[in-house]
Structure 1
């Protein structure tokens, strides 16, 4: 595997006209690193060349930079993961920035894919795009049925527009651009920042500090909101399947089942166990809970992959806790 600024995974040193060159944006992020891990450990096919890129290689909000990147890589397929992201409180503070930056990134990637004749693009959405006021479980038909939650409306609307653009590219140009909607992703290489990261990695960092520095372990909010968590390496396997096999323009939810939904309190207790922490869990109820639930149906996914095996939540949390502990000095935090 090349360790240059653009790094590649391929199963064969030769490249032919039938080679699929798969460009993965956001290659150093949580999902990008998980896909890299999966293709590097046996999932890369002989005809595939995987190229992972980060913001260091190209500012995707800059159209000229994106065009130069595509000229260099010459992708036939794209997995689009790159985005301006953050936790609940950063989203609440910078809704305009999240809206403008992500609209720019997404438009540049999709338009440049069209201009370069890319055969297929799979973009990453989020369950936060669904309406705040809705019935549960949510499914793929409900994306545009009402406004998203006020806490992150900027990011949510920017992500929704990918679905709108995919349909427009299909209608006007016949493009095979689609999207997937993961539930709450976690795993190795996550962003473990306590203030700006997502809930599980933030909890892991807090417990680590409580163990090593004797600080209190405090969960923000009441602990009552409910979430479906998906291990990043499971999601990586599903992303690769979507790239190879899923040929609908409409999005597909990638998630564990409704029965595997957990409260933040239950997740915190799982992290405590995974980090082997014996101290007290406190809850700061002055902090906002955010959206109470976003229960998603994975019925569509199960019709395609009825035998897909998700990593048990307890095992995935433990593996992530162990990775974070081993890699604390280099982890994003």
Structure 2
């Protein structure tokens, strides 16, 4: 069957059953909030204790029971560099199991529109900047998280295969670095932005004179507020149809040094900022080319400064419920 035969994107039925897999995570919870605010009235989701997505029979039973018309697959086993590097088998097998079970069940039960969410780590470590969608499978992956990346690449291929074989208008989106309410602020497992928020907020509360960060502060990174990501997901579901994954980001980046300055300002830290240059910097730059997303009619709305202030406010108000 031809790819996406005869389908034209359009406004989704707000009353139709809509399943958000991973609805308690950073991205999934933001998508749930976005769908609620957009008027969707039949949302469903299950925690991992209620539905183990690695259990194929249970997943098929859930789809038979709820018969969703739309699905966003935001569920995944995720972790930082250390976890990915230490447990590559877990990240590969568990994510493949989740994806295959959900995608097969969705196909079996006639899901009309499905959005698979990946990660910018699918692209080669030394991809040309900014990274276009065409860079996929053109070079070697970052070794510390290659197993997770391969699982996500398999998901993209699965979406494309379903389009070719069954003609279903399913799509994939690849976000840049995400942050916002519900993020992981743990000392061991957090990514750079929540880690900086925690570090500088602690320093401000304790009245510390100095905060020391790893590296030179020169690497450039791109950050997207998770509420913008959620808005982009709904926009793509209603306005985009194609086999190629779509990068989701802001199209601009900044240095880690500049990022640290924004965080310090947001939390009210006024002490010195030092850099331990004996520690590694990592990849010099990681910026997504978002021209395909822009052509589909969407651009990010939340500035980084505003987004950081929003995230700091959430962090301070949810200390008791923080993940990790």
- Scaled by the length of structure 1, what TM-score is found? 0.87
Distance 1:285 1:85, change over 3 A: farther
Indicate how the Cα distance of structure 1 residues 296 and 250 shifts in structure 2: closer, same or farther if over 3 A, else same.
same
Alpha-carbon distance, 1:18 to partner: 9.0
Aligned residues: 311
Q: Deviations over 1:174-212 (max 9, x none)?
A: 222211011111001111112112111111112222233
Separation in structure 1 between the aligned mates of residue 285 and residue 153 of structure 2, nearest angstrom: 19
Q: What residue number does 2:9 align with?
A: none
Q: How far apart are the structure 2 equivalents of 1:79 and 1:106? A: 11
Equivalent position to 1:80, from 55, 73, 78 = 73
Give the structure 1 partner of residue 205 of structure 2. Answer: 212
* Equivalent position to 2:33, from 33, 37, 48: 37
Once residues 173 and 63 of structure 1 are traced to their aligned partners in structure 2, the CA distance between those partners, rounded to angstroms, is 21
1:86-235 aligned at under 5 Å gives the runs 86-213=79-206, 217-235=211-229
* Structure with larger RCO (C-alpha < 8 A, sep 6+): 2
Q: Distance in 1 between matches of 2:278 and 2:51?
A: 40
Alignment CA distance shift 1:26-1:220 (3 Å): farther
**Which residue does the alignment assign to 2:306?**
315
Report the 3-state secondary structure (helix = DSSP H, G, I; strand = E; otherwise coil) of the residue aligned with 1:197.
coil
Cα RMSD after superposing both structures: 2.0
Q: Is the 8 A contact 1:79 1:243 kept in 2?
A: no
User: Whole-Å Cα distance in 2 between the matches of residues 274 and 97 of structure 1?
Assistant: 37
CA positional deviation for 1:23: 0.5
SS at match of 2:147: helix
Deviation at 1:255, TM superposition (A): 0.9
Q: Is the 8 A contact 2:219 2:285 kept in 1?
A: yes
What displacement does 1:286 show? Answer: 4.3
Q: Distance in 1 between matches of 2:56 and 2:279?
A: 39
Of 204, 227, 244, which residue of structure 1 is paired with 2:238? 244
Partners of 2:21 and 2:214 lie apart in 1 by 32
* Distance across 1 between alignment mates of 2:176 and 2:202: 27
Preserved contact between residue 149 and residue 291 of structure 1 (Cα < 8 Å): no
TM-score by length of 2: 0.90
Q: SS at the partner of 2:224?
A: strand
Equivalent residue for 1:276? Answer: 268
Deviation of 1:220 after TM superposition, in Å, equals 3.0
Shift of 1:267: 1.3
- CA deviations 1:242-267 (Å, max 9, x no partner) are 2222211211111102xx20112211
What are the ranges of 5 or more consecutive residues in structure 2 without an aligned counterpart?
A: 1-12
> What do residues 71-100 of structure 1 show as CA deviations (whole Å, max 9, x unaligned)?
232211110001111122222222222112
1:26 to 12, 22, 26: 22
- 1:114-137 CA-to-partner distances (Å, cap 9, x unmatched) read 111111210111111101122222
Equivalent residue of 1:314, what SS? Answer: helix
User: Counterpart in 2 of 1:9?
Assistant: none
Q: In the superposition, relative to structure 1, how do residues 68 and 299 fare at CA in structure 2: closer, same or farther (>3 Å)?
A: same
Q: Deviations over 1:104-162 (max 9, x none)?
A: 11111111111111112101111111011222221111111122111211111111111
Which of 254, 269, 289 is the matching residue for 1:262?
254
Q: Who is 1:57 aligned against?
A: 50
- Cα deviation code 1:38-91 (max 9, x no counterpart): 2333x125xx52223321221112212212322232211110001111122222
Local SS of the residue matching 2:275: strand
Q: Could you tell me which runs of 5 or more consecutive residues in structure 1 were left unpaired when the two chains were aligned.
A: 1-16
- d(CA) in 1 for partners of 2:111, 2:225: 29
Shift in alpha-carbon separation, 1:292–1:101, aligned structure 2, 3 A: farther
1:289 aligns with 2:286: no
